[in-house]
Amino acid sequence: MLEQLNTRVEECYQQAESFFKRPFKRPVVSLKLRGQKAGVAHLHENLLRFNPQLYQENAEDFLKQTVAHEVAHLIAHQLFGDRIQAHGEEWQLIMRGVYELPPNRCHTYEIQRRTATRYIYRCPCDGSDFPFTAQRHRLVRQGRRYLCRSCRNTLVFSGETRVE
């Protein structure tokens, strides 16, 4: 998986070097990205991080579009410096001119949302459920108090949880 990714990154760099007639410093490539983002370019570290799950589920488009998208960020930074917008003219020039790809800001890959447990808190108000995150529930157990905005009474854990 990482081998194909590195091969595509190298292809993108060779295309950019041929187009701009100059060499570019190669980045470190990592598959240590989770969540909703398909890829991230760390400009000052010259590092590319990619989401292995989204790569695996969308391999063809990911290699074509996402890798070029992130490489274009590093190329734009090396060419034009810090004072450019992330998806501005310079980046778009590279996407269109060098890679002949649409300069899409975001991917359209299906994302599996994590399930989250919510802890239901209540107050004397009518019909008032307050779903707390695990972090907020933990803070309550450590002594923090939360008040109802309507009646100003302390919210109390009902003993119920809900999975979202």
Catalytic residue selected from 3, 70, 100, 160: 70
Same-domain status, 59 and 93: yes
Summarize pLDDT for 33-61 with one digit per residue, the tens. 998 999 999 999 999 999 999 999 999 99
Structural domain that includes position 134:
117-163
Do both 24 and 81 map to the same domain?
yes
Report the predicted TM-score, pTM, of the whole model to 2 decimal places: 0.73
User: Do both 136 and 93 map to the same domain?
Assistant: no
| Helix, coil or strand: residue 157 | strand
DSSP string for 16-64? HHHHHTS--PPPEEE----SS-SEEEETTTTEEEE-HHHHHHTHHHIII
Residue 65 and residue 130 in one domain: no
Whether 131 is covered by a domain: the verdict is yes
CA distance 6 to 3: 5
Q: In terms of domains, do 151 and 91 share one?
A: no
Answer yes or no: do 81 and 37 share one domain: yes
Does some domain include residue 111?
no
Contacts of 35 (CB under 8 A, 6+ apart): 51
Judge whether 90 counts as a catalytic residue.
no
Give the tens place of pLDDT for each residue, 6-35: 999 999 999 999 999 999 999 999 999 998
Does some domain include residue 134?
Answer: yes
Asked if 103 contacts 123 with a C-beta cutoff of 8 angstroms, the reply is no
Q: Does residue 2 sit in the same domain as residue 75?
A: yes
Continuous H helices in 64-144: 67-80, 89-93, 134-141
